[in-house]
């Protein structure tokens, strides 16, 4: 996140973008705005430079607030409307308006994006972006800047707009706080910004400190409805985002919002989206990518003069821009170096937001994104698709997208590069301390970690060496991690965990009334299974082995860790992770077919059955995992990249479109196969 010296404005400022059909939409919008709203409104339109601007006069007839044409160095005041003049770009700096000649030729100008970015830098969380009727996609990129700084986004409902191009493009970002008719947006903005006189500010804001028991109830409701745990996110971030939703619904007390969440499950999904803060762009923070291109990628190639299949992971990838940026840079480096050996880069891009992953997989971006990409790269790596651009096949095939919770799910390993930018700043310090050693473990010796501009290594500084400059790029040091396993806040899928902790099963010294875990498990196996199996808790901790499981599980390096995800061999961990949580949550059973598990350069094919245990009572809440090796299955030897690896990767790409969660399993299998002979 960018740092600026500008202070947030003392009052909210709304930047309003409109184009074709904008006059009618603006008139409707200002009908819902009182003359003493307490906000300033700055209207940015696409205006023909050869025509006299009549917008100021026309708007003034429709409202009591003063309407002025923006002038150089003009001080912005509340309860005023300012309109951009023809044939110029408009910026807001230090509370004043500044005019400048258009930076782009006519037809390529994006004055709304330009202004909204300066609005975000100036006003921070008090910035408001409004997108009304218009053609094209101007304003879409500016919304990301506003949202990143904590501002609010309002969009006219496309059905009510004369021209719906701009509203539809804005809505597609997933950043809109509210979509509605233009006439109703004004009142919603007043409620959101706390300018609504009949409604007191949210209780959380007035008190200055959150009501933790009620906040925990919100987190629990999110966990139930969305399956994700936000308990380790920064309280201040949670508070701001919850206050935003409270204001939109004109709810003053957090207790009332909790009740609203319980009564309206759809609101939990909207709050979930609000908390994800999926803001990104191509080549964001150019200095970072310049150093990746000039130093990091060449160093990785030089470390493998015989050629290599390199691996990278982009957690919190949002809609894919950063992953595709890395892919383009890698191709640029290969083109400039022209090595005699063969190099490939497989990028695993993951995010908590499955909707963002779907958009990333599609690889289609609005035309105004081109402002972030050079003309040469635009021509080489993108194909124009109507009013949008689609990433080329060469770039798309380098990236595998999958939904993943970086806090809860097993990580990718044996990586050469890991870029995790602007995620840690939203997490509590204790969780940051656990993620950074995990990143160290995920990287190969000499691998690189890229963090965001506002993020630091903190207590993990001894694990990485900082590259020169202010780009927050680090190289992995070959130092030993602490001996105890890294722990993460576990998702609470029910009462199974608590029941186990209270059960005599977890107390070896309990009296003779303790159930015989071997007898109970063997009886359960005889009823249902015959193969090798393990009994695990709802968190994956193994409490009993049955049969020979060595082909499928092996002890993890370091201190003993009997968690099935830590012990699973190549190809199995991703498969288990794909369905384990669902089996526990739904108290059901599931069979994974044709799972190829690798060991010591070979692999076997098996089916894996996960069964939630309801009876006997002593084992209730656990999961039985059984391994059925397929008849006639023989170990398959492989070295390096399999001959059919390319075909398998293409099959994985097609599977991404059909089944999002299954892709994480396939991605990890492909990663481990590629590592087999290296």
pLDDT tens per residue, range 551-602: 888 876 655 668 888 888 878 877 787 788 888 888 888 888 888 887 656 7
Q: Specify the pLDDT at position 493.
A: 33
Contact 392, 380 (CB under 8 A): yes
Tell me what pLDDT residue 207 has: 46
**Sole residue written with tokens 């044709």:** 594
Whether 52 has a pLDDT exceeding 80, the answer reads no
Rg (CA), the chain: 28
Give the chain's length: 678
Identify whether 19 is a catalytic site residue: yes
The two structure tokens encoding residue 120: 């975000």
Exactly one of 89, 113, 121, 138 is catalytic; which is it? 138
CA distance 368 to 355: 21
Judging by beta carbons within 10 Å of its beta carbon (0-12, 13-18, 19+), is residue 513 exposed, middle or buried?
A: exposed
Q: State how far Cα 404 lies from the chain centre.
A: 9
The residue to which tokens 């997490």 are assigned: 427
Three-state DSSP at 116 gives helix
Beta strands 532-536 and 623-629 are: antiparallel
- pLDDT surpassing 70 at residue 650: no
- Residue 103 phi/psi, 5° resolution? -80, -20
Cα 649 to Cα 655: distance, rounded to the nearest angstrom = 10
Question: Rounded mean pLDDT of 650-670?
Answer: 44
Q: Are 589 and 498 in contact (CB under 8 A)?
A: no
Average per-residue pLDDT for the chain: 79
**In the prediction, which pLDDT does 359 show?**
86
Q: Is the pLDDT of residue 101 over 70?
A: yes
Burial pattern 593-615, b for ≥16 Cβ within 10 A else e, equals eebbbbbeeebbbbebbbbbbee
> How many CB atoms are located within 10 Å of the residue 27 CB?
16
Distance, in Å, from the CA atom of 246 to the CA atom of 244, rounded to the nearest integer, reads 5
Out of 19, 126, 318, 573, pick the active-site residue.
Answer: 19
pTM beyond cutoff 0.75: no
Tokens 């971006």 sit on residue: 365
CA 90, CA 70: separation in Å to the nearest integer? 8
Higher-pLDDT residue of 483 and 233 is: 233
**How far, in Å, CA of 562 to CA of 295, rounded?**
40
pLDDT band at 651 (very low <50, low <70, confident <90, very high): very low
Please tell me the least confidently modeled range out of 92-106, 133-147, 462-476, 640-654: 640-654
Contacts of 459 (CB under 8 A, 6+ apart): 433, 436
Token representation of residue 25? 């939409």
> What phi and psi, each to the nearest 5 degrees, are found at residue 384?
-70, 135
Pairing verdict, β 382-385 and 388-391:
antiparallel
- The residue with greater pLDDT, 503 or 416, is 416
Q: Is 448 helix (H, G, I), strand (E, B) or coil?
A: strand
Buried/exposed code over 185-210 (b: 16+ C-beta within 10 A; e: otherwise): bbbbbbbbbbbbeeeeebbbbeeeeb
- What's the helix, strand, coil split of the chain in %, to 5? 40, 20, 40
Beta bridge partners of 545: 534
Distance from CA of residue 242 to its chain's centroid? 18
How far apart are the C-alpha atoms of 275 and 278, rounded to whole Å? 9
Could you say which of 37, 46, 416, 672 is catalytic? 46
DSSP string for 60-104 = HHT-SS-EEE--TTEEP-TT-EEEPPTT-EEEEETTEEEEE--SS
**284 or 598: which carries more pLDDT confidence?**
284
Can 138 be counted among the known catalytic residues?
Answer: yes
If you average pLDDT over residues 325-345, what whole number do you get? 94
DSSP assignment letter at 613: -
Three-state SS for 126-139 is HEEEEECCCCCCCC
Evaluate whether 473 touches 292 at the Cβ level (below 8 Å). Answer: yes
**Segment 509-538, tens digit of pLDDT:** 333 344 556 555 655 554 444 578 889 988
- 367's tokens: 């035309």
What DSSP element (H or E) covers 625?
strand 623-629
Cβ atoms within 10 Å of 45's Cβ, excluding its own:
23
Give 299 or 513, the one with higher predicted confidence: 299
Most confident region among 177-181, 213-217, 341-345 by mean pLDDT:
341-345
CA contacts within 13 A on the Cβ side of 140:
26
List 475's β-bridge partners, or say none.
448, 465
**Is the bond into 616 cis (omega within 30 degrees of 0)?**
yes
Token pair, residue 566, equals 């830590």
In angstroms, the CA 598 to CA 646 distance is: 19
Per-residue pLDDT reduced to its tens digit, 444-497: 999 999 998 888 888 888 899 999 988 999 999 987 655 444 444 343 333 333
Most confident residue range from 39-43, 316-320, 660-664: 39-43
Least confident of 85-89, 395-399, 467-471, 642-646: 642-646
């Amino acid at each position: 996140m960018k740092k600026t010296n500008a202070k947030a404005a003392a009052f909210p400022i709304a930047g309003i973008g409109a184009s074709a059909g904008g006059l009618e939409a603006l008139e409707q919008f200002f009908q819902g705005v009182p003359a003493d709203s307490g906000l300033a409104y700055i209207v940015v339109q696409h205006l023909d430079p050869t025509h006299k601007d009549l917008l100021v006069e026309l708007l003034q007839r429709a409202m009591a607030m003063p309407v002025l044409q923006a002038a150089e160095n003009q001080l912005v005041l509340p309860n005023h409307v300012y309109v951009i003049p023809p044939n110029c770009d408009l910026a807001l700096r230090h509370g004043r308006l500044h005019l400048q000649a258009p930076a782009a030729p006519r037809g390529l100008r994006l004055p709304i994006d330009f202004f909204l970015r300066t609005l975000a830098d100036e006003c921070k969380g008090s910035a408001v972006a409004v997108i009304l009727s218009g053609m094209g996609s101007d304003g879409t990129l500016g919304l990301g800047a506003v949202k990143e700084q904590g501002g609010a986004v309002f969009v006219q409902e496309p059905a009510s707009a004369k021209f719906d191009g701009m509203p539809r493009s804005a809505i597609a970002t997933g950043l809109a706080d509210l979509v509605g008719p233009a006439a109703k947006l004004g009142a919603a903005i007043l409620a959101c910004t706390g300018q609504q006189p009949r409604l007191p500010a949210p209780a959380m804001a007035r008190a200055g400190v959150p009501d933790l028991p009620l906040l925990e109830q919100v987190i629990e409701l999110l966990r139930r409805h969305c399956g994700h745990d936000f308990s380790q996110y920064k309280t201040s971030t949670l508070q701001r985002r919850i206050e935003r939703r409270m204001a939109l619904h004109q709810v003053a007390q957090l207790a009332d919002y909790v009740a609203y969440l319980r009564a309206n499950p759809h609101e939990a999904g909207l709050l979930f989206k609000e908390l994800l803060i999926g803001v990104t762009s191509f080549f964001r923070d150019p200095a970072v990518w310049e150093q990746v291109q000039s130093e990091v990628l060449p160093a990785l190639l030089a470390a493998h003069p015989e050629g290599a299949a390199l691996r990278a992971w982009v957690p919190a990838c949002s809609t894919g821009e950063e992953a595709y940026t890395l892919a383009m840079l890698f191709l640029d480096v290969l083109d400039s170096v022209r090595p005699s050996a063969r190099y490939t880069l497989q990028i695993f891009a993951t995010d908590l937001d499955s909707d963002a992953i779907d958009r990333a997989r599609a690889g289609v971006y609005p035309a105004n994104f081109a402002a972030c990409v050079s003309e040469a790269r635009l021509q080489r790596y993108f194909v124009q698709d109507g009013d949008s651009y689609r990433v080329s096949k060469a770039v798309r095939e380098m990236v595998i997208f999958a939904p993943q919770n970086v806090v809860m799910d097993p990580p990718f390993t044996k990586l050469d590069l890991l870029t995790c930018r602007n995620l840690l700043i939203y997490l509590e310090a204790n969780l940051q301390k656990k993620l950074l050693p995990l990143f160290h473990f995920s990287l190969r010796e000499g691998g690189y970690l890229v963090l965001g501009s506002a993020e630091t290594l903190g207590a993990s500084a001894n694990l990485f060496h900082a590259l020169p400059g202010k780009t927050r790029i680090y190289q992995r040091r070959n130092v030993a991690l602490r001996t105890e396993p890294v722990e993460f806040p576990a998702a609470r899928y029910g009462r199974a965990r608590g029941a186990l902790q209270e059960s005599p099963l977890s107390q070896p010294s309990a009296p003779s009334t303790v159930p015989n875990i071997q007898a109970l498990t063997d009886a359960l196996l005889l009823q249902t299974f015959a193969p090798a199996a393990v009994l695990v808790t709802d968190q994956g901790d193994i409490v009993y082995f049955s049969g020979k499981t060595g082909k499928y599980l092996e002890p993890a390096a370091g201190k003993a860790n009997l968690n099935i995800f830590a012990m699973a061999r190549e190809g199995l961990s991703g498969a288990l992770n794909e369905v384990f949580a669902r089996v526990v949550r739904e108290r059901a059973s599931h069979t994974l077919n044709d799972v190829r598990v690798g060991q010591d350069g070979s692999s076997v094919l098996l089916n894996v059955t996960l069964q939630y245990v309801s009876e006997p009572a002593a084992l209730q809440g656990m999961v039985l995992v059984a391994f059925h090796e397929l008849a006639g299955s023989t170990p398959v030897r492989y070295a390096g990249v399999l001959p059919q690896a390319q075909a398998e990767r293409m099959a994985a790409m097609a599977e991404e479109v059909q089944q999002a969660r299954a892709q994480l399993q396939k991605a990890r299998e492909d990663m481990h196969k590629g590592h087999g002979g290296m």
